[in-house]
Amino acid sequence: MRGTMMRAKRVPGLSRSLFVGVTALAMLGADAGFASRPADDPETDPGLDVAAVEETLRPPTVFELLLAQADVEDDGARARRRRRPRGRRPGGSRQGDAGQERPPAPPPAPTQQPVAPLEPDTSSGGVPTPVEPAPVAPPPAPVQPAPEPPLDEGSWTPAPRQQQPPPPPRRPAPVRPGAESDQDSGSTPGAEPEPRSIPRSEWVPGEPPPRRSDGKRPSRRNAPTYENELPDYEFVALPDRWRIVENLGVNEKWYDPYNQNTLKADRPIPGTKDWFVNVSVVADQLFEPRRIPIPTGAVGDNDQEVDLFGDGVAWESQTTLLTSVALIQGDTTFRPPDWEIRVTPALNVNKVWVQQLGAVKLDPKAGDDRLDYHFTLQEAFIDKHLWNRTDRFDFDSLRIGIQPFNADFRGFLFDSSEPGVRLFGNFANNRAQYNLAWFGRLNKDTNSALNDLESWRDDHTVIANFYYQDFPVLGFNVEAIFAANINREGNERDFDRNKNLVIPAPVGLIGGKDYEVYYVGIGGDGHIERLNLSFQIYGAFGNEDYNPIAQRSQDIEAWFAAFEASYDIDWMRWKAYMLWASGDEDPFDDKAQGFDTILDNPNFAGGTTSFWMRQQIPFVFGGSVALSGKNSIVPSLRSSKIEGQSNFVNPGIWQLGGGADFDLLPQLRLLTNVTWLQWDTTTVLQTLRQQGRLDREIGWDVSAGLIYRPLFTNNIILRASGSVLIPESGYEELFEERRDDDPPYSVLFNATFTY
């Protein structure tokens, strides 16, 4: 029995636990046969092996059960290996397994049957006869795969690839919508089919893809298509990237400037690829009551006014409509446009009422009011993008025509719209910008201050400036500027629209003059941490061949400086500022030291809300010469800021002040300013007015204004401001007869609508 068990352990593919169970059943059957005998006597039963029986009946140990389980797992692994395709091992490739011979599987072991012991025949007392044990069903033989014939080396071939089912036949190409036959849909009836391209499976490795059989490139135009297939991409008319949103229900409205709009250069002009049009309309309405000293004429409507200056109550209304049309070629989003053609016509209607005759016009018969209008072009230029310096679109451009230009940060020197040629651009990743420009001068309309295209002046301005950002610290920008103003109007005589003499200026010994003046300046604007800073310094050098006050030629040497600092605290901005323009201490020497500008329009010390900057205060010669021009900060004693010549023999000025801006609401801002005014020198004033000593103090300029943007944008801007000049002795001595009257004031109401 032990030998039987040992042989059972070596039977391949059979569990040891199965053999143990079968053997135990056989032994139980043998014991049942022995039970029919009288007694178990070892001496009378020589064939009984008690030890073998006991070992057979012993239950299997844990170790034997583990061995049996391992045998079962080994049998499962061998069965899985037999089911794998030949010529490939797990984890290997077909090329790595090709040509390798697999060892044949071992033959299965024969089934063993238990041998029953011999039992002596007690009935005959002679030779023992074999006793048949109880019939036991043999264990089922394990299923073995069919033996594989051995492979000879070199005779192995890979198994053939599984054949894929053929693709379904192509359906006939549909007739294109709107076509009556195949001829209309791109194919010719009765013609030979177009040669097809060679399938990719027949390409030769390492060589370029072959062409068709006729040597041409394959075309998608006449290729057969499936039924209900989308049209070929060559025939699909897709909207461009601006109009594709119309499929989503986003349609433009011509009156909406904040969504896609062809009139605001959001989409190209229909029928073009990269030409855009930008239309802007600005309507500006101004109403201004004021009270300033106004000279009385020889004939007046008030018999009580016999002094040089009468009641100065007046009001003015200005309505201006500007329509700007720009034609632009190029991508205006990521780079400068290639071409820009802009035209801005302007129409102005103004009306003035003054309480003195001869103030609105030189002829007293014209009355005390005036209604006037003027039509002109404020812009008309062509801008050509020359080239890009870098891939970050540092560029150079050339602009020719009537164009606006501001020479510095605050408009102290030159801020106007004049005909000229301007070369401008940037470099160093837009950290540096430059301008090289020449401008002629158009005369301005007297009552609207717009361009007068019928009158050109012999006055030329050349400007070269350079801006550099983030210097010397981040957030601060600096500027260096050189400008030249050359005037050759010494032999001309010009009157404004109201018949007042403007060239030469009616002051001193009247006479024409030519002059050349050169400006050198440096400026800065920005912030250092939370401190906002802005400054501008100019030096003016040159000569004039005649000055009517000095009555001789003079060299020009004058200076200008302005400084402003502000600090933001939450919704408040507190600021302080200072301005100095040098004056001429001796008007009769050979040096003119009073600073004057070319054509300024400054935004400083309250800007247009300031009384001193807003109003043109008459001085001498019936108001033909004013202390300062309208929207000017320098007391230049010109006949007219916009039509006269520069004058460098003037008193100069000091301004010291401060103010605060309050953002009361996101759409409402309050501006306040208080400025102390003082002459730099009074020698020139004493000479012209034939007065004794004049005090230098002018007075206090107090102003406040509200700016309201109801839509939080610049489409609608409403302004209201008021300013008053609290005069000191320097002002009262010039207008002594008005000392007991109310102080001069100015009120401004302005509404600007922009599309």
> pLDDT for 214-248, tens place per residue?
555 555 455 555 555 555 555 566 777 777 777 77
Predicted pLDDT of residue 397? 96
Predicted pLDDT of residue 632? 92
Angle, alpha carbons 566-568-574 (nearest 5°): 50
Q: CATH number, domain at 619?
A: 2.40.160.100
pLDDT band at 580 (very low <50, low <70, confident <90, very high): very high
Predicted pLDDT of residue 612? 93
pLDDT surpasses 50 at 346: yes
Q: Among 342, 338, 307, which Cα is nearest to 322's? A: 342
pLDDT band at 180 (very low <50, low <70, confident <90, very high): very low
In-domain check, residue 554: yes
Q: How far apart (Å, rounded) are the C-alpha atoms in residues 526 and 469?
A: 9
* Rounded mean pLDDT, 408-430: 95
pLDDT top residue among 168 and 619: 619
Predicted pLDDT of residue 44? 44
pLDDT surpasses 60 at 276: yes
pLDDT surpasses 60 at 197: no
pLDDT band at 328 (very low <50, low <70, confident <90, very high): very high
Token representation of residue 583: 């004056």
Predicted pLDDT of residue 171? 52
Q: How far apart (Å, rounded) are the C-alpha atoms in residues 647 and 543?
A: 11
pLDDT surpasses 50 at 148: yes
Q: How far apart (Å, rounded) are the C-alpha atoms in residues 725 and 727?
A: 6
pLDDT surpasses 90 at 63: no
Q: Of 48-57, 631-640, 675-684, where does mean pLDDT reach its minimum?
A: 48-57
Predicted pLDDT of residue 392? 87
Give the residue carrying structure tokens 């060589």. 207
Range of the domain at 303: 275-754
- 638 and 493 together in one domain: yes
In-domain check, residue 112: no
Q: How far apart (Å, rounded) are the C-alpha atoms in residues 294 and 747?
A: 17
Predicted pLDDT of residue 260? 83
pLDDT band at 404 (very low <50, low <70, confident <90, very high): very high
CA dihedral in degrees (628, 632, 634, 635; nearest 10)? Answer: 0
pLDDT tens readout for residues 101-121: 455 555 555 444 444 444 444
Averaged pLDDT of the chain: 78
Q: Of 3-7, 449-453, 510-514, where does mean pLDDT reach its minimum?
A: 3-7
In-domain check, residue 62: yes
Number of domains in the chain: 2
pLDDT top residue among 715 and 131: 715
The reply to whether the predicted model has a pTM over 0.85 is no
In-domain check, residue 428: yes
Predicted pLDDT of residue 83? 52
pLDDT surpasses 50 at 360: yes
pLDDT surpasses 50 at 157: yes
Q: How far apart (Å, rounded) are the C-alpha atoms in residues 646 and 490?
A: 12
pLDDT band at 179 (very low <50, low <70, confident <90, very high): very low
Predicted pLDDT of residue 650? 94
* Rounded mean pLDDT, 119-131: 46
pLDDT band at 67 (very low <50, low <70, confident <90, very high): low
SS3 683: helix
In-domain check, residue 491: yes
Q: How far apart (Å, rounded) are the C-alpha atoms in residues 354 and 373?
A: 18
In-domain check, residue 198: no
Predicted pLDDT of residue 693? 83
Pick from 151-155, 306-310, 507-511 the range whose average pLDDT is largest. Answer: 507-511
Q: Among 528, 533, 571, 588, which Cα is nearest to 663's? A: 571
> Using CA of residue 364, residue 368, residue 373, residue 378, what is the dihedral sign?
positive
In-domain check, residue 217: no
Predicted pLDDT of residue 2? 42
Q: Among 660, 657, 663, which Cα is nearest to 707's? A: 663
In-domain check, residue 147: no
pLDDT surpasses 80 at 581: yes
pLDDT surpasses 60 at 491: yes
pLDDT top residue among 173 and 646: 646
Cβ count within 10 A of residue 636: 29
Pick from 79-83, 242-246, 338-342 the range whose average pLDDT is largest. Answer: 338-342
Q: For residue 156, give the amino acid letter.
A: W
Q: Of 168-182, 468-482, 571-585, where does mean pLDDT reach its minimum?
A: 168-182
Beta bridge partners of 107: none
Predicted pLDDT of residue 299? 60
